[in-house]
Amino acid sequence: MTKKYDVIVIGAGPAGMTAALYASRAELSVLMLDRGVYGGQMNNTAEIENYTGFKSILGPDLSEKMYESSTQFGVEYAYGEVTRIELAGDQKIVHTAEDQFEAPAVIIGSGSEYRKLGVPGEDEYGGRGVSYCAVCDGAFFKNEDVVVVGGGDSAVQEATYLANLAKKVTVVHRRDQLRAQKILQERAFARDNIEFVWNSNVTEILGDGKKVSGVALKNNQTGATSELPTAGVFVYVGILPITEAFKDLGITDEQGWILTNDEMETNVPGIFAVGDVRKKHLRQITTAVGDGGVAGQAVFDYVESVKSK
């Protein structure tokens, strides 16, 4: 039996939770769906120090606070991986693997996921030394040597976090300088147990059949190859939008990012998008929360217009 709501929010990250808060506070009936635990990428972040109101807070703790706030006005929360959205006049039917839900408005905040290296050994040793979450798996590598692949904010921040646990952290970056914020770079450079390998790509993740034992490297300037022993490989080489379920709606660009206007509206009336899933320059908790607030207000106006027909 299809359950009906005014608004269905897909994704319970900071953007989705804020959108749900605003919409429910406007006395709309709201369902918030997520395929995992609420909080999204915040749960994979050890320490957040650039979210206004908190000098420093653990990612999972901020997730919990946002969830408590977002559900205070009656938002229903359910687990479910969305497989597609069906358009039926003014109504949108959201299909999951087991259920379907209906509403005139949908806010997509499905977020993004870490990009893989796509090299031999990566899938084979997933969960056996290959990780995309230092907070989740760092404790398994106490007093071991580990490798972090990447040079952006996430790579450098998580390398610094791992330096508190590991014997040595080696950051492998394809360029000759980091792309991370200067303050993050300075912290990493100041750590005695963080080293850097520049202008290099990981070409294979090596192992003994049971767990990771090292990485194969190639210098992209000289062509020289080498092997670096390591117990763990943490990959931070970019993100991809989680939009496979929405590709048939015609709301994404070639890379899969959802296109919206300033009101978070897509080109399909009644479908909005917020947070990391949108095509935009800066993807942070602050910008996700801003998106959610705008969409939460815009969706109220849209639902009211549908009801008045």
What are the Cα distances from residue 80, in Å, to 29, 116, 127?
A: 18, 24, 24
Report the DSSP beta bridge partners of residue 249: none
34 is catalytic: no
Smallest CA-to-CA distance from 299 within 265, 261, 260 is with 265
Among residues 34, 137, 153, 276, the one annotated as catalytic is 137
Task: Assign 3-state DSSP to the chain and report helix, strand, coil percentages, each to 5.
Answer: 30, 30, 40
Query: Which residues 6+ apart lie within 8 Å of 280 measured at CB?
Result: 287
Q: Which helix (H) or strand (E) holds 69?
A: helix 59-70
* pLDDT at position 136: 80
Burial 237-253 (b: 16+ CB within 10 A, else e): bebebbbebbeebebbe
Contact 234, 146 (CB under 8 A): yes
Smallest CA-to-CA distance from 6 within 72, 74, 67, 69 is with 74
133 is catalytic: yes
Among residues 61, 136, 253, 301, the one annotated as catalytic is 136
Contact 273, 19 (CB under 8 A): no
Per-residue pLDDT of the chain (309 residues; tens, 9 = 90+): 799 999 999 999 999 999 999 999 999 999 999 999 999 989 877 788 889 999 999 999 999 999 999 999 999 999 999 999 999 999 999 999 899 999 999 999 999 988 999 999 999 999 899 999 888 889 999 999 999 999 999 999 999 999 999 999 999 999 999 999 999 999 999 999 999 999 999 999 999 999 999 999 999 999 999 999 999 999 999 889 999 999 999 999 999 999 999 999 999 999 999 999 999 988 889 999 999 999 999 999 999 999 998
Q: Which helix (H) or strand (E) holds 3?
A: strand 3-4
Amino acid sitting at position 164: N
d(CA 249, CA 59): 33
